[in-house]
Chain A
């Protein structure tokens, strides 16, 4: 149980700068999800927190104690490695017990802990096996088990569920959530899975090229992305970005749009004052697929709504919805349509655009306006 404060951490390997000033202030008991494209430095950051890599500059503060200079073993951190890192020469039982043995726990306690963890992760049958005799998903659970057997100040999970099948992944996700609620241990968790990120996190940190782009609650990051990168990275299918012009239409700032040769105007929500001041300039409109749907009659009156007719280019049924591709301003746009109302490619269909949650980005910098 501890808070974690990462203060302006830089990390370079020789000439290559990987972490370029990471600041994170994590409260005791928070569940932090770290997301970002491959190679952006997530694992490196985890290693720096654990002390497995020395930070180049900056501080790591755990439980209000500056541990930047401490050895990994003194930081009291348990970690699940992306590559599992199971000890190949030891069976599963030994793998889980190793850390406990080194910390000189009494035998009965070790027995009990290993048993408890094995039940939790459904690996009791595997305890006698060597890692080489396990499947990828089983190995991953053993790696989880090795961390969960400890009672550390902080858990670091580097993509711990990436190799599990869909069902097991959901189960394990729930287990982790329950575990966190029960233990209340601070967790930093790396994942590429959007649902994992949204469901588990107290806060999400979005990383890119060694910088934290945004650090906020899942809803904030989703609804209120700090920039075009975050907006595009979070959410699946990802947000549509449409280049368009802010124009004055009947005394009101609107977005000029052309669909299949017909021009029309989209309202700009009142709260987007910055955009309203950019009349005559080009901006990037960000709108999520679920905000462009088939026409839902009872909502039709709201001021931020607009209907357009557009030709369907491609449809992708996902089960719950059908993703429908249309063109706006000659750019492809994904819409999320009720399966029953979705037309076929080539058909023209009326879509309802809800501008209430639309966001706008500067064309050059990609920052939110």
Chain B
């Protein structure tokens, strides 16, 4: 490497070394200081409390927390409890139906809306507005609509179908399905919005190329567009599953978990055992199981998301 002499001989003698002043050093800490409250929140209120709940689930706590540990007894009690098993089964039925139906309706509506529909903006607004409502409001409305003596069943009979029956709300076997109906009504528009955004993101030229290759419109959808929506399916499933596991207010407002405990869900079970029945230990154990459920869905998702992001770089 050659280095020709600069115009004037540089002086390498350093006159002064700038040490960061106190003010500078403080200024450097500002970013950390600014996020520290949130950091505290994350550490204490999210992770600390999660661990705390786990601790409670191994304790003898009833109305008040007590820190005598009894191993897995709360979990044994939990899984020995028929009501909890019903709640879990219900969550299975409700979760699967809710996710599948929402996906189906959401995708169908998105595809239909993507056909250059005239009043698209208006229709989209209509499909999505339930998402702005509280689950309590949704529950209240559907509770009334599904009530056999005043709602849809009566309406059907008044129309002349004397034997029309739609009494799922008060039937132990069917009540969980009413929760599905109301939940789908509330959330499917949201899935539609997700899919619609995904459809709009599909490269137009691919579709045109396929059409030039002679693919019919249905083929274009089933073979090209829908497969390219995989990531949307993925995040929609995550969101919906997450909503399902947390579901509490809707079932409470709609069926109150009843008749009996036939439409109970883990979230209701957890709340009632912890807060109204003074069985904090068992309640905590059920919360831990719910947390595990969310993690089981979330961790693979986050893992794949983070891996994709790393690949991007």
Q: Which of B3, B7, B9, B18 contacts A67 (CB 8 A)?
A: B18
Docked complex: B1-42 residues within 8 A CB-CB of A: 1-4, 6-20, 24, 27
Docked complex: A276-296 residues within 8 A CB-CB of B: none
Question: B4 near A216 (CB under 8 angstroms)?
Answer: yes
Question: B14 near A66 (CB under 8 angstroms)?
Answer: yes
List the A side residues contacting B15 at CB < 8 Å: 64-65
List the A side residues contacting B18 at CB < 8 Å: 65-70, 74
List the A side residues contacting B24 at CB < 8 Å: 69-71, 74
Q: A27-B8, A29-B7 are in contact. Are A69 and B2 (CB under 8 A)?
A: no
Segment of A207-215, A237-245, A315-323, A325-333 in the binding face: A207-215
Q: A70-B18, A70-B20, A71-B27 are in contact. Are A25 and B12 (CB under 8 A)?
A: yes
Chain B: which residue is nearest A61 at the CB level?
B14
A47 contacts chain B at the CB level, 8 A cutoff:
no
Question: B17 near A66 (CB under 8 angstroms)?
Answer: yes
By a beta-carbon cutoff of 8 Å, the part of chain A in contact with chain B is 3, 5, 25-30, 61, 64-71, 74, 202-203, 212-217, 220, 224, 226
17 CB-based A-B contacts, threshold 8 Å: A3-B10, A5-B10, A25-B3, A25-B6, A25-B10, A27-B7, A27-B10, A61-B12, A65-B18, A66-B18, A69-B24, A70-B18, A202-B7, A203-B4, A215-B4, A217-B4, A226-B1
Question: B11 near A30 (CB under 8 angstroms)?
Answer: no
Q: Give the size of the chain B interface in residues (CB under 8 angstroms).
A: 21
Additional 15 contacts, C-beta under 8 A, given A64-B16, A69-B20, A220-B4: A5-B12, A25-B12, A26-B10, A27-B9, A27-B10, A65-B18, A202-B6, A213-B1, A214-B2, A215-B1, A215-B4, A216-B3, A217-B4, A224-B2, A226-B2
Q: Which of B1, B8, B13 contacts A212 (CB 8 A)?
A: B1
Question: A3 near B11 (CB under 8 angstroms)?
Answer: yes
Chain B: which residue is nearest A26 at the CB level?
B6
Chain B: which residue is nearest A217 at the CB level?
B4
Question: A30 near B6 (CB under 8 angstroms)?
Answer: yes
Q: How many Å lie between the Cα of A203 and that of B5 in the bound state?
A: 10
Q: How many Å lie between the Cα of A226 and that of B16 in the bound state?
A: 35
Chain B: which residue is nearest A65 at the CB level?
B16
List the A side residues contacting B4 at CB < 8 Å: 203, 215-217, 220
Q: Which of B2, B10, B14, B16 contacts A220 (CB 8 A)?
A: B2
Q: How many Å lie between the Cα of A86 and that of B197 in the bound state?
A: 31
Q: How many Å lie between the Cα of A125 and that of B114 in the bound state?
A: 45
List the A side residues contacting B27 at CB < 8 Å: 71
Q: How many Å lie between the Cα of A5 and that of B8 in the bound state?
A: 13
List the B side residues contacting A25 at CB < 8 Å: 3, 6, 10, 12
In the assembled complex, the CB of A312 is this many whole angstroms from the nearest CB of chain B, namely 37
Chain A: which residue is nearest B16 at the CB level?
A65
List the B side residues contacting A74 at CB < 8 Å: 18, 24
Chain A: which residue is nearest B6 at the CB level?
A27
List the A side residues contacting B13 at CB < 8 Å: 64
Chain A: which residue is nearest B11 at the CB level?
A64
